[in-house]
């Protein structure tokens, strides 16, 4: 028996001696199992508090050799956006820290442009024997169905990047989507006059289901309403995400309009910036999201004016650690953990860390 296990056993023995009960009874109380009267349980708990006894849970896990299986369901990195590299880095960092404590992380990836691929991967997780799930709910109805499956099986789940209201997740870790859009609108006030026209651009094949884009748009419009600003705001939904489709849609959207600012609601802002450069359109300010290589290149050149960033690496890391601490230590979890809303410009991008 190692020293930690020996020390823990001595602690349990001392609690049993003081309470005049068996070690098995103390063990039942420590593990919240039935079979102990309320009077005895209260007596044992009082002694535990008096001794400030804390069981060595990690030593116990190692001794049991029981493996904890966590499933991750997030989008694939694609040619159109490498945003999901960042949360994956955070997940890998967490995995490295806890792997030696009997935790195994299984990664499942789906195509952002194909909801059937989400369903396929979700079904694979449902058929597995996982203990917890980290989920990026990009397709809302399909995500709700998967969540109901998790609830039915008693599997805790954490949401990252975008939330689903009224779903009883263990925790949501990510941006306040509405506030992100509201902030973008506030920034626009420094870039345009009150008579300038503004264009909101949503780029996603599944826009109707992508509530995280719509929440940002809602926040953006609300700023103008609350502050009684009379700017004409137009919107386009680009459902084919390849560059040529973006280019064609943008040409039509700008035709016969005097657009002075474009707000792109996700990380595909680089496609819009590329279009402006390719067509030699000047004098339009651009606000978008995420600290990605292509976005930064256009930021450096001044084609993009502001990038709004919300710590995707930390989202992945904290998501895994939240599940781990809940499952291993029964640690209380904040229901909502919003990431900071960082504003990146060409003057400060060198000093930013995702």
Contact 130, 106 (CB under 8 A): yes
Tens digits of residue pLDDT in 267-282 = 999 999 999 999 999 9
Q: Is pLDDT larger for residue 165 or for residue 99?
A: 99
Contact 144, 167 (CB under 8 A): yes
The tokens describing 307, both together, are 């990038």
Kindly state whether residue 108 falls inside one of the protein's structural domains: yes
Q: What span, in angstroms and rounded, lies between the C-alpha atoms of 55 and 250?
A: 61
Q: Are 273 and 261 members of one domain?
A: yes
Kindly state whether residue 114 falls inside one of the protein's structural domains: yes
Q: What span, in angstroms and rounded, lies between the C-alpha atoms of 318 and 35?
A: 37
Domain end: 47, 63, 79, which one?
63
Q: What span, in angstroms and rounded, lies between the C-alpha atoms of 86 and 41?
A: 47
Contact 103, 119 (CB under 8 A): no
Q: Are 302 and 154 members of one domain?
A: no
Tens digits of residue pLDDT in 323-354 = 998 998 787 888 999 999 999 999 999 999 98
Give the count of beta carbons closer than 10 Å to the beta carbon of residue 44. 21
Q: Residue 168 is part of a domain; what is its CATH number?
A: 3.40.50.2300
| pLDDT number for residue 79 | 75
Kindly state whether residue 241 falls inside one of the protein's structural domains: yes
Mean pLDDT of the chain: 90
Concatenated DSSP letters for 299-318? Answer: HHHTSS-EEEE--HHHHHHH
Domain end: 63, 80, 113, which one?
63
Q: Are 152 and 77 members of one domain?
A: yes
pTM value?
0.81
Q: Are 75 and 149 members of one domain?
A: yes
Q: Are 304 and 317 members of one domain?
A: no
Q: Are 236 and 182 members of one domain?
A: yes
Q: With pLDDT > 70 as the criterion, what percentage of the chain qualifies?
A: 92
Tens digits of residue pLDDT in 214-251 = 899 999 999 999 999 999 999 999 999 999 999 999 99
Q: Residue 47 is part of a domain; what is its CATH number?
A: 1.10.260.40
Tens digits of residue pLDDT in 51-73 = 777 666 555 555 566 789 999 99
Kindly state whether residue 353 falls inside one of the protein's structural domains: no
Kindly state whether residue 354 falls inside one of the protein's structural domains: no
Q: Are 92 and 35 members of one domain?
A: no
Q: Are 290 and 222 members of one domain?
A: yes
The average pLDDT across 119-128 equals 94
Length of the chain: 354
Q: Are 182 and 105 members of one domain?
A: no
Contact 283, 159 (CB under 8 A): no
Kindly state whether residue 348 falls inside one of the protein's structural domains: no
Q: Are 123 and 22 members of one domain?
A: no
149 backbone φψ class: left, alpha, beta (φ>0; ψ -120 to 50): alpha
> How buried is residue 96: exposed, middle or buried, by Cβ count under 10 Å (0-12/13-18/19+)?
exposed
Predicted confidence band at 260 (pLDDT cuts at 50, 70, 90)?
very high
As for how many domains the chain has, the answer is: 3
Concatenated DSSP letters for 166-191? Answer: T---SEEEE--HHHHHHHHHHHHTTT
Distances (CA, A) of 13 to 2, 53, 83: 17, 12, 53
Q: Are 184 and 305 members of one domain?
A: yes
Contact 299, 346 (CB under 8 A): yes
Q: What span, in angstroms and rounded, lies between the C-alpha atoms of 308 and 345?
A: 9
Residue 23 belongs to domain spanning: 3-63
Q: What span, in angstroms and rounded, lies between the C-alpha atoms of 123 and 111?
A: 15
Kind plus residue range of the DSSP H or E element containing 264: strand 259-264
Kindly state whether residue 333 falls inside one of the protein's structural domains: yes
The average pLDDT across 300-317 equals 97
Predicted confidence band at 7 (pLDDT cuts at 50, 70, 90)?
very low
Q: Are 132 and 183 members of one domain?
A: no
| pLDDT number for residue 250 | 97
233-238 vs 259-264, strand pairing mode: unpaired
Kindly state whether residue 349 falls inside one of the protein's structural domains: no
């Amino acid at each position: 028996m190692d020293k930690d296990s020996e020390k823990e056993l001595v602690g349990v023995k001392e609690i049993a001696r003081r309470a005049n009960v068996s070690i098995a009874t103390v063990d039942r109380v420590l593990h919240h199992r039935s079979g102990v009267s309320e009077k005895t349980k209260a007596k044992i708990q009082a002694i535990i508090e008096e001794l400030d006894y804390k069981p060595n849970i990690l030593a116990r896990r190692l001794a049991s050799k029981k493996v904890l299986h966590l499933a991750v369901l997030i989008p694939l990195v694609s040619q159109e956006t490498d945003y999901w590299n960042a949360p994956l880095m955070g997940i890998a960092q967490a995995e490295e820290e806890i792997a030696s404590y009997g935790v195994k992380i299984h990664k499942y990836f789906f195509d952002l442009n194909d909801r059937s691929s989400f369903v396929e991967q979700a079904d694979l997780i449902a058929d597995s024997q996982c203990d917890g799930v980290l989920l990026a709910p990009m397709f809302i109805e399909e995500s709700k169905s998967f969540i109901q499956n998790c609830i039915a099986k008693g599997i805790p789940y954490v949401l990252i990047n975008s939330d689903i209201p009224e779903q009883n997740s263990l925790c949501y870790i990510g941006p306040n989507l509405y506030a992100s859009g509201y902030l973008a609108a506030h920034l626009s006030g420094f870039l345009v006059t009150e008579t300038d026209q503004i264009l909101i651009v949503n780029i996603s094949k599944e826009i109707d289901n992508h509530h995280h884009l719509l929440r940002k748009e809602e926040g953006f419009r609300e700023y103008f309403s609350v502050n009684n600003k009379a700017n004409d705001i137009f919107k386009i939904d680009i459902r084919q995400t390849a560059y040529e489709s973006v280019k064609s849609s943008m040409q039509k959207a700008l035709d016969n309009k005097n657009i002075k600012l474009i707000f792109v609601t996700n990380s595909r802002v680089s496609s819009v910036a590329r279009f402006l450069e390719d067509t030699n359109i000047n004098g339009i300010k651009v606000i978008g999201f995420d600290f990605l290589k292509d976005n930064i290149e256009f930021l450096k050149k001044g084609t993009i004016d502001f990038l709004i960033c919300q710590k995707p690496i930390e989202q992945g890391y904290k998501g895994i650690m939240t599940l781990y601490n809940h499952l291993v230590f029964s640690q209380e979890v904040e229901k909502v953990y919003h990431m900071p809303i960082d504003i990146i410009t060409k003057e400060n991008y060198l000093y930013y860390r995702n």
